[in-house]
Structure 1
């Protein structure tokens, strides 16, 4: 088989249907499949997929409840898949038209590829602006201004590279895509960015959820800095984020607006996560 799309899911009953609609509408000439990985869902995620499988022969469901997390689910999906090219998207986003073709075309000449994120379709204006324009900026995302990485919810790779790197590191939450790309870089493989593969990205809507997600992401970033140092790379400065701490104080008055609360909660969670991660991984990155 030419290509497999891996979609890890946990309680995505409400958001998965439009993603499946978008994947079913993809047009590509090769032989390909869609593998949805149900990672311990307690809602109707599995039923949603099962109902669609009856009329869509490309779709498969894999149950992976022996572990938790995106890395575990993605690895389980790859193990159950057959494609020589592997694409990854998430169950709460929506791929744009031409997504499969765009990443598949890029993988003809590159081993690791990533696309663009679009923020306006699935998010109200106040939420789409809550993290600034960086998420939708041209070019691949970068870890604290250093190496480029493939975004976990919009990436593709050859199976040969996946096997060579050893898959996603399980037990890492929130930075597994950065860590994977860092290991690829250690093998001399850099990520290639393509504007032909777009994912409509969905933000969390509640301030508490944004804080917790930011905390999870932030807590893993000191680990990436430590891995960079261990690999002989120049890691980000230890106090690179001092402006963000000052920003949190200055922006306290904006908490009266929905946009202000979303923005503040995300940054606060991220910075608090950096503190936790610095302690946990014994690598200062504030």
Structure 2
């Protein structure tokens, strides 16, 4: 009987998915588990990679791997909801298809969910161009702690609790009760929106320095700007929805304006002194400010004041 379902949303990830599926296959001391790869409308060889590993999982007799399709909406949050729908385990673990988990990750997640309803794990960054192409290389750099680290409640009084959508665990009954992810948030911030609903339900978003994984950092000022813009918009939407505008360190009390001024000042300094060039840093600050303005303005069609929208099958 399957105890743990590992849900992996993917879209166009044939280059990176194999490392993560290899890492999930090579788990130690884990209870019976399945890996649910959710293909979010890929247009390349992603499904073929998952199919190839499905045969290897069957041969190993360690776990099961299933590929399911989620073409309706292009977002990790929607894909994760579809994965929940098709999962068989009572404990759900979430990771992404371009990262790499250590050897005791499933075991740690299962043990932690014996102690709590949900937890948020830790992530160790590694630049994409330096990310090893084999599990052994990642784990040599990441390490693997076979000890179970204690759960911590450091976010109890934080106005914006953080849930790491790419590395967390939750009991399936709790996920269904909460209604899953709100995929109307778009491509960012849906995990922290869920964290705010978790707190509204009377629960804490517990964290642990263990249950860590390695994740890829994308670099380049265009990618940094785009990611920061999505994050800034999502933060502003959450601040509006939950009445936390004043508490926000991004937009509260005119901070968005000071952030814009800081970014423009840094850009001017870079023109005068090219040796101080920091395109990624400036792009990040500008992106966050632009996104915050988009999310903070009650424009037609904005969902800032709406209720969480979840699939009907998760509201049953």
| TM-score class, shorter | 0.7 to 0.9
Which runs of no fewer than 5 residues in structure 1 stay unpaired? 126-138
Q: 1:87 aligns with which of 89, 93, 96?
A: 93
Equivalent residues of 2:126, 2:217 under 8 A apart: no
State TM-score, norm by structure 2.
0.77
How many Å separate the matches in 2 of 1:39 and 1:210? 23
Which runs of no fewer than 5 residues in structure 2 stay unpaired? 59-63, 132-151, 305-316
Equivalent residues of 1:37, 1:64 under 8 A apart: yes
How many Å separate the matches in 2 of 1:99 and 1:186? 28
How many Å separate the matches in 2 of 1:32 and 1:216? 33
Give the aligned partner of residue 65 of structure 1: 71
Structure 1 residue 201: deviation in Å?
1.5
How many Å separate the matches in 2 of 1:7 and 1:140? 26
| Cα-to-partner distance string for 1:52-101 (whole Å, 9 max, x where unaligned) | 11111311101111222111100001101101011111111112232222
| Cα-to-partner distance string for 1:92-134 (whole Å, 9 max, x where unaligned) | 1112232222222211111110111101365659xxxxxxxxx
Structure 1 residue 147: deviation in Å?
3.4
Give the aligned partner of residue 109 of structure 1: 115
Give the aligned partner of residue 162 of structure 1: 175
Q: 1:78 aligns with which of 84, 107, 115?
A: 84
Give the aligned partner of residue 251 of structure 1: 266
Equivalent residues of 1:112, 1:155 under 8 A apart: yes
State TM-score, norm by structure 1.
0.85
Query: Which secondary structure state, in structure 1, belongs to the residue aligned with residue 67 of structure 2?
Result: strand
Bigger radius of gyration among the two: 2
Equivalent residues of 1:114, 1:140 under 8 A apart: no
How many Å separate the matches in 2 of 1:118 and 1:244? 27
Total equivalences in the alignment:
269
Q: 1:187 aligns with which of 190, 201, 205?
A: 201
How many Å separate the matches in 2 of 1:28 and 1:264? 45
Equivalent residues of 1:228, 1:235 under 8 A apart: no
How many Å separate the matches in 2 of 1:257 and 1:98? 44
Q: 1:263 aligns with which of 272, 281, 292?
A: 281
How many Å separate the matches in 2 of 1:13 and 1:258? 37
Structure 1 residue 241: deviation in Å?
4.1
Aligned pair in 2 of structure 1 residues 278, 204: CA closer, same or farther (>3 Å)? same
How do 1:158-237 residues align onto structure 2 when only pairs under 5 Å count? Answer: 158-173=171-186, 174-229=188-243, 235-236=247-248, 237=252
Equivalent residues of 1:212, 1:269 under 8 A apart: yes
How many Å separate the matches in 2 of 1:76 and 1:141? 31
Query: Which secondary structure state, in structure 1, belongs to the residue aligned with residue 122 of structure 2?
Result: strand
How many Å separate the matches in 2 of 1:40 and 1:177? 21
